[in-house]
Amino acid sequence: MAGRKKLSELDKAKSKASRLYWKHQDTLTTEFSEEHVAKELQFSTSEKQMGRPPLKLSLIQNRALKDYSESLADYREIEQNEGVEAVSDNEIIDYKKSDRAGRKAKDEILHIKKYIRRTQRQINDIKAQDNSDFALEHEGPGRPGKSKLDKIALYQQRIDDAELEIEKLMIDKAAHEIVYYELFELKNDRRTLVVEQKKHNEDSNEFIGFAKDIGLLDERIKPIQAEYDKALELAGLKHVRSAPSARARPATEVEAGGWSASEQSSVKVNESSEVDKLKAEMQEMKKMMMEQAELIKALTNKD
């Protein structure tokens, strides 16, 4: 019979336990915590506060752990009833480590960028620690501990390797995709600043300082947003308002009631010279990235 092979009850239980384990692990990450804080702040600062407030992070984590524990117990029960040889918890956990159900993952470049941000936070945490926390002398079994500088160098090397991988992936990207990644990073930085700003009183120096930084970022975002919109138009693609996060505004005034069909079809790039200029800029950007990737590759091979 054609189609996917039917899973046994044991395999189904094993798959469920593995996926719920990784779902619980996701709730423990800094990224998940930051997103949850943003949701709480968004709800608390909303004027209407419609709907239910977000659950507490600790409650979400406890529920996820409870779901995993129950699914693991269910698997062990089926395992015992069928009289098969027991497997280790690690084997169950790794069963669906790279095949998780649920929300579609971000593309590879965004995934690597997220890894870089997480690693950079680890470096910042290490730099903030006192030198005495890193003992040079090691007692007992196991590998000797690394010094503060060695740890920073290790994580920085991981960032360098990840950035090199991004350079390679960007070579095959279209012009509008290259601009999108730059815009995504800027808007992600802005969101982080907004979250941090809302932790302070509006009259505090910290709040005012964040406001200035956010304003500077907005000035950087505006031309990149315009460049992204034009790149999409050149590629013949419709602008997706939900990605990136901030929404683009029409270049022309729009009356109440929206655009008519004839008005929508008449929106064009007014100056052909601007279009030609943007095309040239996109080609030049792609050429520079290819040259940079080749240079890094040559230096790496030389070492």
Q: What is the pLDDT of residue 250?
A: 36
Q: What is the pLDDT of residue 134?
A: 64
Q: What is the pLDDT of residue 256?
A: 36
* R_g of the chain computed on alpha carbons: 25
Q: Which long-range contacts (CB under 8 A, 24 or more apart) does 56-59 make?
A: 57/27, 57/33
Residue 229 near residue 268 (C-beta atoms within 8 A): no
Q: What is the pLDDT of residue 259?
A: 39
The CA-atom distances, in angstroms, between 123 and each of 36, 39, 127 are 23, 26, 6
Say what the pTM is. Answer: 0.45
Q: What is the pLDDT of residue 65?
A: 93
Q: What is the pLDDT of residue 139?
A: 58
Q: What is the pLDDT of residue 299?
A: 58
Mean pLDDT by 10 residues, the chain (303 residues): 70 90 86 78 63 85 93 91 85 76 62 87 87 60 73 91 90 88 89 88 92 93 92 73 38 37 41 57 65 62 54
Q: What is the pLDDT of residue 82?
A: 86
Label residue 158 exposed, middle or buried (CB < 10 Å: 0-12, 13-18, 19+). middle
